[in-house]
Structure 1
Amino acid sequence: MFNAPRYGTGSLADLLPSVLAGFGVPGETDRLGLGIAADRVCVLLIDGLGASALAANPGAAPFLSGLASATLTAGFPSTTATSLSSLGVGVPPGEHGIIGYLVRVPGQDRLINTLRWSPHGEGPRVDLRSELVPEQFQPTATVFERAAAHGITVTQVAPSYQNGSGLTRASLRGCAFRDSFSVGDLIDGIGIALRTGTRSLVYAYHADLDTTGHARGPASDAWLLELAHVDRLAAEIAERLPPDAALLVTADHGMVELDERIDFDHHSELRAGVQQLGGEPRARHVYTEPGAAQDVAAAWHEILGTDFAVLPRAEVIDRGWFGPIVAPHIADRIGDVVVAARTAHGIIRSGAEPIQSMMIGHHGSLTPAELDIPLCTFRS
């Protein structure tokens, strides 16, 4: 079963514009009806925390489960680089242009890993920030830039590898950056940042739940234990909030465990007519040979059956998966054929993507387990 992203009324892209409306920033509207008017707000993003997984495990997360909560949707694909861009820019993927994990940029013959801002493939990792300038690839002003322009002190508290990264420069720019080296340092850094300036907005990121889900699966004991740590992390932050502050806890996507893997690298019928395979196992961008898109779509539909939606680019755009607006230069980044998993299946590449192919937990598609994310609110 698929859900539709609720762009404009209930998606991750609507969260920070709604927060800015609470700060009284001109031109911003409270799209989510948060009704939060506070001088200090922290948005804590827990990578990989799906709404259904949180709801199913209240004993592991008593603090978060006890908060006032709502369910938002990520966008499509439900993957970290796309979701963080939707959060940071405040618009759907069709407008910010980070439309997947691995994408082909028109004019280049290679796939770009948008999370690492590097070419995909074998060989040493190459930094593309000078060649593929992040601020040009995604030129729309971020929510953080808009906040800073109106006198709000904005801070990102996150691991040091995100400081100045291509994705940060593209979609999360406009913040002062505070490195976090541990959970304790993250908690302390949030508290310090919240007390900076007369009005402050803090965006904080925590990755361990997602890492555990990929490696052990979101149904594992390890994942539940990590969820308990995440819950305590949120409670510790809440206990240390300054007066008249708000904590909003959300996520970028949920996760599912695969029960069947179709290996593109060992399936000649799937490879026929395909130049490059982007995206990730649950949501693939299929870039075809010139004139081959229709034949490729027909072949993939016949081979994959009802376990996957196999749609041409134009139909995906018409369905609004990437948002109500898709700029022409961004449409060119979308696969000629887009494939999204309906069931617990995935299209792996054991040769080209060996580590990803071995992962237990995956995300990217439009099923509720992947698309629905929590929004938990705490006021000091």
Structure 2
Amino acid sequence: MELPTLSGQGHLAEVVPSVLATLGVPGCVDTLGLPDAAGVCVLLIDGLGSELLRVHADDAPVLTELAKATLTVGCPSTTVAGLAAIGTGVASGEHGMAGYTFEVPGCGVLNALRWREHPGGGELDLRPEDVQPLPTTFERAAAAGVEAVVVAEAKFANSPLTRAVQRGAEYRGVYAMGDLAAETLRALRESPGFCYAYHGQLDELGHRYGPGSPAWVMQLRQVDRLVELLVDGLPPGRVLAVVADHGMVALGANVIDIDVTPELRSGVRAFGGDPRVRHVYTEPGATEDVLATWRSVLGPRAWVTRRDEAIAAGWLGPRVSDRVRPRFGDVIAAARDDFGMLRRTAEPLESKLIGQHGSMTPAEQLVPLAIAHR
């Protein structure tokens, strides 16, 4: 089975280096052709894929008008990897935040959102700065004398994931869409610099009710109003760049439960990923047998490949460091269409979600880049 590739598109990891280049940060290059600016805000709308925006254009007229480019997000198309791409300026093969859950060799499988062992929930002795040691884009901005501000939910202010991918910024915690808009505009008015703002509720409702559901559409309309408020309030010389970390699909009835499928567990010592993309960590010497079994059982419902083949296809970006290579499965299974690889026993909450993401389909990979400036 031929693997999909990511060639011919800009990448989410290029956004902040391009922003920093326009602000004069040494070593950064603007590969996206952004407007010159004295200050820039990158607003990330979690879960807003380009295909979803196209289908629901009438519900988001401001975003639709501003969205002039499309980016890819790479593998896995998940929030953890997307936030790390924003926060480091490199793809998953270098930053190593390999998804919702992934194995850190010698430590166990990490749930990167909860920063706990997966699936058991026990503590892991892992410092975020060790898991993701690369300098963040916020640290690079600050080192060049450019003020860096993060505007996001207050509950995430001191989280391990924030430390891993957003350290170096002044964190301004907010509680709703109103103070998200107000605090973002305040950051842009106060002084020239780099502001990153995050909105996560569209993704939450997509998971719970499904992308395109009435609740999701209502939230999309609110997101469009948020963007309109920011555009209307932009001070002179400022740029707003709206992006997303991934798209989303609604799972159909065609799913498989790994926990009750013995063939899929044979020769496997651990699982990572999520229902749309699975890291399969094999027992020594078992990789080829596991690969053959997973290909046979899943058939055309998924791309099932060796890690090195996924790297060669560009799934993990142009470079893959030896430090993070083992975090990606010996075998990687990426779902096609509306297929899902559930673990109802080990992951009961995740397995109940309607909307999912992580794989290599256009619905998950393609995100808009919308630009406004004064």
> TM-score w.r.t. structure 1 length?
0.95
Contact 1:287–1:337 (CA under 8 A) maintained in structure 2: yes
Partner of 1:41: 40
Shift in Å at residue 121 of structure 1? 2.2
Q: Quick check: 1:318 aligned with 2:312?
A: yes
Which amino acid in 2 is paired with 1:89? T
After superposing the two structures, state which structure 1 stretch, 133-142 or 278-287, moved more.
133-142
CA RMSD of aligned residues (A): 1.5
Partner of 2:86: 87
Shift in Å at residue 25 of structure 1? 1.6
Partner of 2:247: 254
Shift in Å at residue 15 of structure 1? 0.4
Helix, strand or coil at the partner of 2:197:
strand
Shift in Å at residue 83 of structure 1? 0.8
Shift in Å at residue 219 of structure 1? 2.3
Partner of 2:197: 204
Helix, strand or coil at the partner of 1:112:
strand
For residues 180 and 272 of structure 1, the distance between their equivalents in structure 2, rounded to whole angstroms, comes to 46
Distance 1:211 1:2, change over 3 A: farther
Partner of 1:367: 361
For residues 71 and 120 of structure 1, the distance between their equivalents in structure 2, rounded to whole angstroms, comes to 34
Q: Quick check: 1:4 aligned with 2:5?
A: yes
1:280-315 CA-partner distances (Å, limit 9, x unpaired): 011100011111111111011001001111111221
Which of 174, 177, 180 aligns to 1:183? It is 177
Contact 2:45–2:244 (CA under 8 A) maintained in structure 1: yes
Which amino acid in 2 is paired with 1:223? W
Shift in Å at residue 68 of structure 1? 4.7
Helix, strand or coil at the partner of 1:170:
helix
Moved over 6 A (4+): none
Helix, strand or coil at the partner of 2:320:
coil
For residues 338 and 231 of structure 2, the distance between their equivalents in structure 1, rounded to whole angstroms, comes to 36
Which of 207, 217, 223 aligns to 2:216? It is 223
Which of 125, 130, 134 aligns to 1:136? It is 130
After superposing the two structures, state which structure 1 stretch, 110-119 or 358-367, moved more.
110-119
Helix, strand or coil at the partner of 1:201:
strand
1:317-359 CA-partner distances (Å, limit 9, x unpaired): 2222111211112111111111001221010000010111111
Partner of 1:234: 227
Contact 1:218–1:256 (CA under 8 A) maintained in structure 2: yes
Contact 1:145–1:175 (CA under 8 A) maintained in structure 2: yes
Helix, strand or coil at the partner of 1:77:
coil
Which amino acid in 2 is paired with 1:92? A
Contact 2:3–2:313 (CA under 8 A) maintained in structure 1: no
Which amino acid in 2 is paired with 1:150? A
Contact 1:2–1:366 (CA under 8 A) maintained in structure 2: no
For residues 369 and 193 of structure 1, the distance between their equivalents in structure 2, rounded to whole angstroms, comes to 33
Q: Quick check: 1:213 aligned with 2:206?
A: yes
Which amino acid in 2 is paired with 1:248? A
Distance 1:204 1:346, change over 3 A: same
Alignment of 1:1-380 (within 5 A): 3-6=4-7, 10-34=10-34, 36-108=35-107, 110-123=108-121, 126=123, 128=124, 131-197=125-191, 199-259=192-252, 260-380=254-374
Contact 2:301–2:339 (CA under 8 A) maintained in structure 1: yes
1:119-141 CA-partner distances (Å, limit 9, x unpaired): 11235x64x5xx21111221111
For residues 221 and 229 of structure 2, the distance between their equivalents in structure 1, rounded to whole angstroms, comes to 12
Helix, strand or coil at the partner of 2:149:
strand
- Percent identity, aligned pairs only, is 49
Distance 1:3 1:228, change over 3 A: farther
Unaligned runs of 5+ in 1: none
Contact 2:69–2:369 (CA under 8 A) maintained in structure 1: yes
Which amino acid in 2 is paired with 1:356? E
For residues 332 and 214 of structure 1, the distance between their equivalents in structure 2, rounded to whole angstroms, comes to 29
For residues 235 and 328 of structure 1, the distance between their equivalents in structure 2, rounded to whole angstroms, comes to 44
Helix, strand or coil at the partner of 2:323:
helix
Contact 1:153–1:196 (CA under 8 A) maintained in structure 2: no
Number of matched pairs: 372
Which amino acid in 1 is paired with 2:21? A
For residues 66 and 180 of structure 1, the distance between their equivalents in structure 2, rounded to whole angstroms, comes to 27
Unaligned runs of 5+ in 2: none
For residues 77 and 328 of structure 2, the distance between their equivalents in structure 1, rounded to whole angstroms, comes to 15
Helix, strand or coil at the partner of 1:329:
coil
Contact 2:23–2:193 (CA under 8 A) maintained in structure 1: no
